[in-house]
Structure 1
Amino acid sequence: MTTINLTPEPLTAENFNQFGDVLSIENKDSITINDGFANKFADLAKIDTQEECGETSVHIFVAKKRQFPLQITMLEKHPFFSQTFIPKGETPFIVVVSPPAEDPIIENIKVFISNGDQGISYSRGVWHFPLISLKDNAQFVVIDRKHNIDQDTIKQCTVRKIEDVDINVELSL
């Protein structure tokens, strides 16, 4: 069995652009609103949930801390909608991704670490490992397609097990 050890690289808009958007105000223009009491940084990510009359939904996930090295045993994708994660508070987290394809391409897996103020928005079809929190009880605002069990005709999530390769994320803070 082949072993791949991955170390996260800092998350930037440039190195994440093939997977989606980085939500950050760094190097972004704003407009002043609310009589000068707020700055608005608009259009930081495209929310893509409209397939077959889909509705956008906002959730809060409360995550458990992961242990490292972390073995990546599967990847998932949402073929018909984007998915956005925004940490509440200064909460760095790890992102494991592979570009959109029929199946994950193991040699194209990338690992990023947010700076705690950044969120991410996966484009539809991007393979990713579920949320990797570095803190217990960390809260994340998640924006994606509302799941209407009785009405949905689209597949919400595709999961692929990784069995032929031992992939580990190593973290040294």
Structure 2
Amino acid sequence: MRTLTIEPLTKEAFAPFGDVIETDGSDHFMINNGSTMRFHKLATVETATPEDKAIISIFRADAQDMPLTVSMLERHPLGSQAFIPLLGNPFLIVVAPLGDEPVSGLVRAFVTNGRQGINYHRGVWHHPVLTIEKRDDFLVVDRSGTGNNCDEHFFKEDERLILAPHQ
């Protein structure tokens, strides 16, 4: 099994998979009579049909034992999905490019700095949320509507990957 190299999350490296939601280097302007800086259009919510709705939820995630065997990825073909950390803790991201199935050899791993969120583009393969802390909360912006919006792919045993953040 291949051990994933964990890369620091940057806008450039993550661009094939989605948006990095952060203030650093982002467009901004003053509002509210100059008392508030608005960091504008950090990500775009994608939905498949005009009937779909963008919704906001909170996910409370428990840490998984590490090293982790990455045996599956999921995708949301009908909408994007954003994760914004609420407690300021770094978290891990495992992604693969768009395609009918994820290719094990193209899977990448990233770690946030605790002040960055991410927005997976519609259809991007990714691992379910991976917190580093024992428990963490995330603001999630995604899609509500009809139709199946979660495909799962389980890797064959010889395609599985290892995620070991403390090595």
- Determine the structure 2 residue equivalent to 1:161: 154
* Aligned-partner residue type, residue 168 of structure 1: I
Output aligned runs, 1:129-140, within 5 Å.
Answer: 129-140=127-138
Give unpaired runs (5+ residues) of structure 2. none
The residue aligned with 2:54 is: 56
How far off is 1:67 after superposition? 1.8
Deviating above 4 A after TM superposition, structure 1's stretches of 4 or more consecutive aligned residues are: none
Q: Distance in 2 between matches of 1:43 and 1:107?
A: 32
Please state whether the residue corresponding to 2:33 is helix, strand or coil. helix
C-alpha root-mean-square deviation of aligned residues, in Å? 1.3
1:68/1:169 contact within 8 Å kept = yes
**Cα offsets for 1:133-156 (capped at 9, x unmatched):** 011231100000014xxxx1x221
Contact 2:29/2:37 (CA < 8 Å) preserved in 1? Answer: yes
Corresponding residue for residue 165 of structure 2:
171
Deviations 1:8-30 (A, max 9, x none): 10000000000000001111231
- Partners of 2:121 and 2:102 in 1: CA distance: 15
The residue that corresponds to 2:75 in the other structure is: 77
Q: Structure 1: how far apart are the matches of 2:165 and 2:54? A: 34
Distance in 1 between residues matched to 2:159 and 2:52, nearest whole Å? 36
Which residue number corresponds to residue 11 of structure 1?
A: 9
The amino acid that maps onto 1:172 is H
Aligned residues: 166
Q: Distance in 1 between matches of 2:59 and 2:109?
A: 21
Matches of 2:87 and 2:10, distance apart in 1: 19
SS in 2 for 1:43: coil
AA aligned to 1:23 is I
Amino acid at match of 1:159: E
